[in-house]
Amino acid sequence: MKKLKPLSRILIILSAVLMVSGYFLPLWQILMWAPQYPEGLDMQIWINDIKGDVKIISALNHYIGMRHIEVSMFPEFQYMIYIVGFLIAFGLLASLVNRRFMLVTFTTLIIACALAALVDFYLWGYDYGHNLDPTAPIIVPGMSYQPPLIGTKQLLNFTAFSGPDIGGWIFIASGILAIGTVVFEFKRFHNKI
Amino acid sequence: MKTRTTIFKMLALLIGTAAVFSSCKPKGPADVAMGDAASKVYVAPGKYDEFYNIVSGGFNGQIAVYGIPSGRLFKILPVFSVFPESGYGYSEETKPMLNTSHGFVPWDDLHHIALSTTKGEHDGRWIFANGNNTPRVARVSFKSFRTEEILEIPNSGGNHSSPFITENTEYLVAGTRFSIPMDNKDVPISSYKENFKGSISFVKIDPVNGHMNIAFQLRTPGFNYDLSRAGKGPSHGWFFFSCYNTEQAYTLLEVNASQKDKDFIMAVNWKKAEEYIAQGKGKTEKVRYAHNTYDDKTHSATSKMENEVLVLDVSEFPDIVYFIPCAKSPHGCDVDPTGEYIVGSGKLAAMMPVFSFTKIQNAIANKDYEGDFNGIPVIKYEAALHGEVKKPGLGPLHTEFDEKGNAYTSMFVSSEIVKWNVKTLEILDRVPTYYSIGHLSVPGGPTAKPHGKYVIAYNKITKDRYLPTGPELSQSAQLYDISGDKMRLLLDFPTVGEPHYAEAIPASMITPTSTKIYKIEENEHQYAAKGEAQAKVERKGNEIHVYMTAIRSHLTPDNIEGVRLGDEVFFHVTNLEQDWDVPHGFAIKGAANAEILIMPGETQTLKWKPLTTGVVPFYCTDFCSALHQEMSGYIRISPAGSNTPLKFSTGKIEGQP
Q: Do A63 and B625 touch (CB under 8 A)?
A: yes
Task: Measure A53 CA to nearest chain B CA, in Å.
Answer: 9
Residues B133-157: what's their mean pLDDT? 98
Task: Measure B93 CA to nearest chain A CA, in Å.
Answer: 28
User: Does B512 have pLDDT greater than 70?
Assistant: yes
HEC string of B471-533?
Answer: CCCCEEEEEEECCCCCCEEEEEEEECCCCCCEEEEEHHHCHHHCCCCCCHHHCCCCCCCCCHH
Q: Looking at the complex, does the CB of residue A40 fall below 8 Å from at least one CB of chain B?
A: no
If we measure between CA atoms, which residue out of A30, A35, A22 comes closest to residue A53?
A30
User: Does B495 have pLDDT greater than 50?
Assistant: yes
HEC string of B180-244?
Answer: EEHHHCCCCHHHHHHHEEEEEEEEEECCCCCCEEEEEEEEECCCEEEEEEECCHHHCCEEEEEEE
Give the relative orientation of helices A166-192 and A6-18 as an angle to the nearest 10 degrees: 160
Residue of B nearest to A62 (CA): B552
Residue of B nearest to A39 (CA): B580
Identify the band that residue B644 occupies on the pLDDT scale cut at 50, 70 and 90.
Answer: very high
DSSP assignment string, B406-418? EEEEEETTTTEEE
Judging contacts by C-beta atoms under 8 Å, the chain B residues touching residue A55 are 578-579
If we measure between CA atoms, which residue out of B632, B480, B511 comes closest to residue B145?
B511
DSSP assignment string, B314-345? GGG-TTTEEEEEEESSEEEEEE-TTSSEEEEE
Q: How far is CA A190 from the centre of its chain?
A: 34
Contact A84, A47 (CB under 8 A): yes
If we measure between CA atoms, which residue out of B164, B174, B178 comes closest to residue B216?
B174
Polymer length in residues for chain A: 193
Which of the residues B511, B532, B579 would you substitute to probe the A interface, choosing the one with the greatest number of A C-beta atoms within 10 Å? B579
Q: What is the pLDDT of residues A128-147, one digit of tens each?
A: 999 999 988 888 888 889 99
Task: Measure A47 CA to nearest chain B CA, in Å.
Answer: 25
Task: Measure A41 CA to nearest chain B CA, in Å.
Answer: 11
Give pLDDT, residue B24: 53
Q: Which residues have C-beta within 8 Å of that of residue B520, sequence separation ≥ 6?
A: B530, B574, B576, B578, B600, B601
User: Does B625 have pLDDT greater than 60?
Assistant: yes
Average pLDDT score, chain B: 94
Q: How far apart are CA B37 and CA B551, in angstroms?
A: 46
Q: What is the pLDDT of residues B219-249, one digit of tens each?
A: 999 999 999 999 999 999 999 999 999 999 9
Beta strands B568-575 and B543-551: pairing type? parallel
For domain B521-649, give the fold.
Immunoglobulin-like (2.60.40)
Q: What is the pLDDT of residues B276-307, one digit of tens each?
A: 999 999 999 999 999 999 999 999 999 999 99
Give the relative orientation of helices A6-18 and A100-130 as an angle to the nearest 10 degrees: 20
User: Phi and psi for B23 in degrees, rounded to 5?
Assistant: -70, -20
Identify the three-state secondary structure at position B1.
Answer: coil
Judging contacts by C-beta atoms under 8 Å, the chain B residues touching residue A137 are 626-627, 630
What is the percentage of chain B residues whose pLDDT exceeds 70? 95
If we measure between CA atoms, which residue out of B378, B340, B356 comes closest to residue B243?
B378
Q: How far apart are CA A117 and CA B513, in angstroms?
A: 40
Task: Measure A32 CA to nearest chain B CA, in Å.
Answer: 15
Residue A59: in which H helix or E strand, if any? helix A54-61
If we measure between CA atoms, which residue out of B336, B343, B339, B381 comes closest to residue B363?
B381
Judging contacts by C-beta atoms under 8 Å, the chain A residues touching residue B519 are none
Q: Do B626 and A59 touch (CB under 8 A)?
A: no
Task: Measure A102 CA to nearest chain B CA, in Å.
Answer: 50
**How many angstroms separate the Cα of B582 from the Cα of each of A50, A51, B88, B517?**
23, 21, 18, 9
Question: Cis link prior to B553 (omega < 30° from 0)?
Answer: yes
Q: Which residues have C-beta within 8 Å of that of residue B100, sequence separation ≥ 6?
A: B134, B136, B152, B289, B290
Angle, CA of B633, B637 and B640, to the nearest 5°: 165
Give pLDDT, residue B9: 64
Which of the residues A32, A63, A64 would you substitute to probe the B interface, choosing the one with the greatest number of B C-beta atoms within 10 Å? A63
Task: Measure B579 CA to nearest chain A CA, in Å.
Answer: 7
Give pLDDT, residue B505: 98
Give pLDDT, residue B421: 98
Q: Which residues have C-beta within 8 Å of that of residue B77, sequence separation ≥ 6?
A: B62, B63, B64, B65, B140, B145, B146, B147
Q: Which residues have C-beta within 8 Å of that of residue B511, sequence separation ≥ 6?
A: B48
Q: Do A137 and B626 touch (CB under 8 A)?
A: yes
If we measure between CA atoms, which residue out of B597, B83, B578, B133 comes closest to residue A41?
B578
Average pLDDT score, chain A: 91
Residues B437-441: what's their mean pLDDT? 97
Give the relative orientation of helices A76-97 and A6-18 as an angle to the nearest 10 degrees: 170
Give pLDDT, residue B601: 98
Q: Looking at the complex, does the CB of residue A24 fall below 8 Å from at least one CB of chain B?
A: no
Q: Looking at the complex, does the CB of residue A119 fall below 8 Å from at least one CB of chain B?
A: no
Residue of B nearest to A64 (CA): B626
Residue in A38, A56, A63 nearest the CB of B626: A63
Q: Looking at the complex, does the CB of residue A35 fall below 8 Å from at least one CB of chain B?
A: no
If we measure between CA atoms, which residue out of B656, B527, B537, B534 comes closest to residue B596?
B527
Judging contacts by C-beta atoms under 8 Å, the chain B residues touching residue A59 are 551-552, 577, 579
List the domain boundaries for chain B: 51-513, 521-649
Residue in B577, B578, B626 nearest the CB of A138: B626
Q: Do B552 and A59 touch (CB under 8 A)?
A: yes
Q: Do B578 and A56 touch (CB under 8 A)?
A: yes
Positions of E strands within A7-157: 28-34, 37-45, 50-52, 151-155
Q: Do B579 and A59 touch (CB under 8 A)?
A: yes
Residues B632-642: what's their mean pLDDT? 97
Which residues between 296 and 355 in chain B have a beta carbon less than 8 angstroms from any beta carbon of chain A? none
Residues B531-542: what's their mean pLDDT? 97
Residue of B nearest to A37 (CA): B580
Task: Measure A56 CA to nearest chain B CA, in Å.
Answer: 7
Residue of B nearest to A60 (CA): B552
Return the minimum-mean-pLDDT range out of B31-35, B463-467, B488-492.
Answer: B31-35
Question: Cis link prior to A148 (omega < 30° from 0)?
Answer: no
CB pairs under 8 A between A and B: 17
Q: Looking at the complex, does the CB of residue B625 fall below 8 Å from at least one CB of chain A?
A: yes
Residues A107-116: what's their mean pLDDT? 95
Question: How would you class B209 by CB atoms within 10 Å of its CB: exposed for 0-12, middle for 13-18, buried for 19 or more?
Answer: exposed
Q: Looking at the complex, does the CB of residue B550 fall below 8 Å from at least one CB of chain A?
A: no
Judging contacts by C-beta atoms under 8 Å, the chain A residues touching residue B577 are 59
User: Does A25 have pLDDT greater than 50?
Assistant: yes
Q: Do B577 and A59 touch (CB under 8 A)?
A: yes
Residue in A38, A56, A137 nearest the CB of B627: A137
User: Does A1 have pLDDT greater than 70?
Assistant: no
Q: Do B627 and A63 touch (CB under 8 A)?
A: yes
Contact A16, A95 (CB under 8 A): yes
Return the minimum-mean-pLDDT range out of B325-329, B338-342, B510-514.
Answer: B325-329
Identify the three-state secondary structure at position B455.
Answer: strand
Contact B586, B633 (CB under 8 A): no
Task: Measure A96 CA to nearest chain B CA, in Å.
Answer: 50
Identify the band that residue A193 occupies on the pLDDT scale cut at 50, 70 and 90.
Answer: very low
For domain B51-513, give the fold.
Methylamine Dehydrogenase; Chain H (2.130.10)
Residues A45-64: what's their mean pLDDT? 91
Judging contacts by C-beta atoms under 8 Å, the chain B residues touching residue A138 are 626
Judging contacts by C-beta atoms under 8 Å, the chain B residues touching residue A157 are none
Q: What is the pLDDT of residues B567-617, one digit of tens each?
A: 999 999 999 999 999 999 999 999 999 999 999 999 999 999 999 999 999
Residue B300: in which H helix or E strand, if any? strand B300-313
Q: What is the pLDDT of residues B379-400, one digit of tens each?
A: 999 999 999 999 999 999 999 9
Task: Measure B49 CA to nearest chain A CA, in Å.
Answer: 18
Residue of A nearest to B577 (CA): A56
Q: Do B627 and A55 touch (CB under 8 A)?
A: no
Judging contacts by C-beta atoms under 8 Å, the chain B residues touching residue A53 are 579
Prediction pTM value: 0.89
Hey, which residues does B371 pair with through a beta bridge? B378
Residues A15-22: what's their mean pLDDT? 95
Judging contacts by C-beta atoms under 8 Å, the chain A residues touching residue B551 are 59
User: Does A104 have pLDDT greater than 50?
Assistant: yes
Identify the band that residue B36 occupies on the pLDDT scale cut at 50, 70 and 90.
Answer: confident
Task: Measure A29 CA to nearest chain B CA, in Å.
Answer: 20
Q: Where are the alpha helices (DSSP H) in B385-428?
A: none
Task: Measure B455 CA to nearest chain A CA, in Å.
Answer: 33
Q: Looking at the complex, does the CB of residue B628 fall below 8 Å from at least one CB of chain A?
A: no
Q: Looking at the complex, does the CB of residue B577 fall below 8 Å from at least one CB of chain A?
A: yes
If we measure between CA atoms, which residue out of B253, B479, B502, B268 comes closest to residue B398?
B502
Give pLDDT, residue A142: 86
Residues B474-478: what's their mean pLDDT? 96
Residues A52-77: what's their mean pLDDT? 90
Give pLDDT, residue B614: 97
Angle, CA of B594, B600 and B604, to the nearest 5°: 35
Residue in A38, A56, A63 nearest the CB of B579: A56
**How many angstroms separate the Cα of A152 from the Cα of each of A143, A146, A147, A155, B498?**
17, 12, 9, 10, 52
Identify the band that residue B632 occupies on the pLDDT scale cut at 50, 70 and 90.
Answer: very high
Q: What is the pLDDT of residues B548-575, one digit of tens each?
A: 999 999 999 999 999 999 999 999 999 9
Q: What is the pLDDT of residues B420-434, one digit of tens each?
A: 999 999 999 999 999
Domain at A6-192, CATH from 1.20.140, 1.10.1760, 2.60.120, 3.30.70: 1.20.140
List the domain boundaries for chain A: 6-192
Residue B384: in which H helix or E strand, if any? helix B381-384
Q: Which residues have C-beta within 8 Å of that of residue A172, sequence separation ≥ 6?
A: A164
If we measure between CA atoms, which residue out of B107, B148, B111 comes closest to residue B126?
B148
User: Does B486 have pLDDT greater than 60?
Assistant: yes
Q: Do A137 and B552 touch (CB under 8 A)?
A: no
User: Phi and psi for B510 in degrees, rounded to 5?
Assistant: -115, -45
Q: Looking at the complex, does the CB of residue A137 fall below 8 Å from at least one CB of chain B?
A: yes
Q: Do A55 and B578 touch (CB under 8 A)?
A: yes
Question: How would you class B574 by CB atoms within 10 Å of its CB: exposed for 0-12, middle for 13-18, buried for 19 or more?
Answer: buried
Give pLDDT, residue B137: 98
